[in-house]
Structure 1
Amino acid sequence: MKKNLFYLLTLFTLFSCSKRDLAYFSDIPEQRVYKEKITNSIEPTIQADDILGITVSSSNPESNMLFNNAGGGRSVAQTAGGATTYEVNAVNAGYLVDQNGYIDFPVLGRIKLGGMTKPEAKEKLNRELSKLVLDPSVNIRFLNFRVTVIGEVKNPSTFTIPSEKINILEALGLAGDMTPYGMRSNVLLIREEEGVRTLSRINLNSKEVLNSPNFYLRQNDVIYVEPNKTKEAQATTNTRILTYLLAATSVITLVISRLF
């Protein structure tokens, strides 16, 4: 009789615990090499509130100064060919993209770059500057390419990405990975582009996420890792569950004492 009660208590404990799949891409068979062509890597586009670091260089240092004098600090670099480059200090300046996609660029005035990729924006600026300067060379960088990871991760924070390219796994790595209570099958991606906010669900238990357009992140994306049911239950009913367990333990102890 005592052994039967022990088995019943063990089964109750096992079935009362929720199953949690803590593995990423758990649908990939073991001992198998998984290969596929990368088709979902997308060049980020320039959006409102982006801050662009723009460098203009040519063989004429005086002309360069006209286009790089954005009112902030400037660093000066001498190239191998003798051309002088003036780069705007990211802390003090940079070019803010307004809500309509325009920046205020020296000499050229208001010019629209919103919605373009960096190569497209460079081509446009080169085309406009070639009317004023001989053989201009333009370089563009995002100064505020950042992603935010919050929720059930070890180190929630906002991270600035100097490489301007990051996927969701790398972002989670920066945040110290998910805790055991993170819901890997239902990660929320919040993205704002061209005045539209999109909320998408991502299942990191499935290898299909590797082909998703959401696998590679874009500037200002927010990743929210939801807590699973176990964490929710702990957060809302810890006291009540403890009371029930103590009561159940008392009853079981009383029954066993009376039987034996």
Structure 2
Amino acid sequence: MKKILLTIVILFLLMLQSCTTKKQMLYLQDLDKYSNSTLNYAATKIQPNDILKIDISDLNPLVAAPFNLPVSTSANGSVDLMKLSGYLVTPQGNVTLPILNEVSVAGMTPTMTEKKIKERLINEGYLVNPTVFVRVLNNKFTILGEVNSPGVIPFTEESISLLDAIGLARDLTYSAIRKDVKLIRELNGKRLVYHIDLTTASWMSNPDYRIRQNDVIVVTPNKLKVNSGGLIKDPIQLLGITASLLSLFLLFKLQ
């Protein structure tokens, strides 16, 4: 009986120690302080082995048609299928377009690439007022740890925020440490690790914290989940276990 009572006391003390405060849970608690901050976002730059969607249009569709790949009806709406009909960037950083042949694109943003292709079409006398659309189809990031849907997540936007990435992973779990989210990035042959405190908004204007191709986000679990080997996910669950043991103890004591 004493062992049961001791177990209950230990669990109760663990619950008190592991209770998460409001300051540990809420995002961007000082957002008003940074509401007028200047935002300087760096758009995604095209790299070798990227797959690009490049569409060239004109007021007269028949004139622009030869500059595009044949349209596959099965590729509509699916990024995975569109990749099969996209343009692969070579190790040298080029794509080969119909009629225009090789175009160097590595190190450029999609917007810069659109401008470059448009200028070539006009300057070489092919089209008078073309519209060019470029997107990277294989942008992706990996998110691991205390999120509700970890894994490799694709995106087609030029740039997304860390909060966007967390939203795509269906938010952090209750057990996540929000004060130290790690963003891991490979850049010019070096591995960079950023430590981000999501409870403050001070990081939001830093362009380095925009998600780039192949970034990895790691969200660490709190002590309660680590010490319990993942069996106890939050203090509410621990409270339930403690209450059950207390009920069991009282039941035996009253008999």
TM-score of the aligned structures, taking structure 2 as reference length: 0.70
1:137 shift after superposition: 2.5
RMSD, matched Cα: 3.6
AA aligned to 2:113 is A
AA aligned to 1:57 is S
In the alignment, the residues of structure 1 paired with residue 113 and residue 200 of structure 2 have an alpha-carbon distance, to the nearest angstrom, of: 36
Secondary structure of 1:172's partner?
helix
Partner of 1:141: 135
1:227 to 221, 231, 245: 221
Partner of 1:96: 88
CA contact (8 A) 1:47 1:97 kept: yes
1:174 to 138, 144, 168: 168
1:121 shift after superposition: 1.0
1:193 shift after superposition: 4.4
Structure 2 unaligned runs (5+)?
75-80, 233-244, 250-255
2:201 to 204, 207, 231: 207
1:16 shift after superposition: 7.2
CA 1:74–1:126 in structure 2 vs 1: closer, same or farther (change >3 Å)?
farther
CA 1:46–1:102 in structure 2 vs 1: closer, same or farther (change >3 Å)?
same
Map of 1:104-119 to 2, 5 A cutoff?
A: 104-119=96-111
In the alignment, the residues of structure 1 paired with residue 177 and residue 92 of structure 2 have an alpha-carbon distance, to the nearest angstrom, of: 37
The C-alpha deviation readout for 1:117-175, integer Å capped at 9, x for no partner, is 22211111112222040223211122223333221111113333344442111221221
1:237 shift after superposition: 10
CA contact (8 A) 1:47 1:193 kept: no
Partner of 1:65: 65
Partner of 1:24: 27
In the alignment, the residues of structure 2 paired with residue 195 and residue 96 of structure 1 have an alpha-carbon distance, to the nearest angstrom, of: 22
Question: Identity rate of aligned residues, in percent?
Answer: 34
Partner of 1:79: none
CA 1:59–1:66 in structure 2 vs 1: closer, same or farther (change >3 Å)?
same
In the alignment, the residues of structure 1 paired with residue 171 and residue 103 of structure 2 have an alpha-carbon distance, to the nearest angstrom, of: 41
Question: Number of matched residues?
Answer: 218
TM-score of the aligned structures, taking structure 1 as reference length: 0.69
In the alignment, the residues of structure 1 paired with residue 82 and residue 91 of structure 2 have an alpha-carbon distance, to the nearest angstrom, of: 20
The C-alpha deviation readout for 1:172-215, integer Å capped at 9, x for no partner, is 12212111221212211122345554332212122212122233
Normalized per residue, the structure richer in helix is: 2
AA aligned to 2:27 is Y
RCO (CA 8 Å, sep 6+): is it higher in 1 or 2? 2
Secondary structure of 1:235's partner?
coil
In the alignment, the residues of structure 2 paired with residue 14 and residue 90 of structure 1 have an alpha-carbon distance, to the nearest angstrom, of: 52
CA 1:46–1:91 in structure 2 vs 1: closer, same or farther (change >3 Å)?
closer
CA 1:192–1:51 in structure 2 vs 1: closer, same or farther (change >3 Å)?
farther
Partner of 1:36: 36
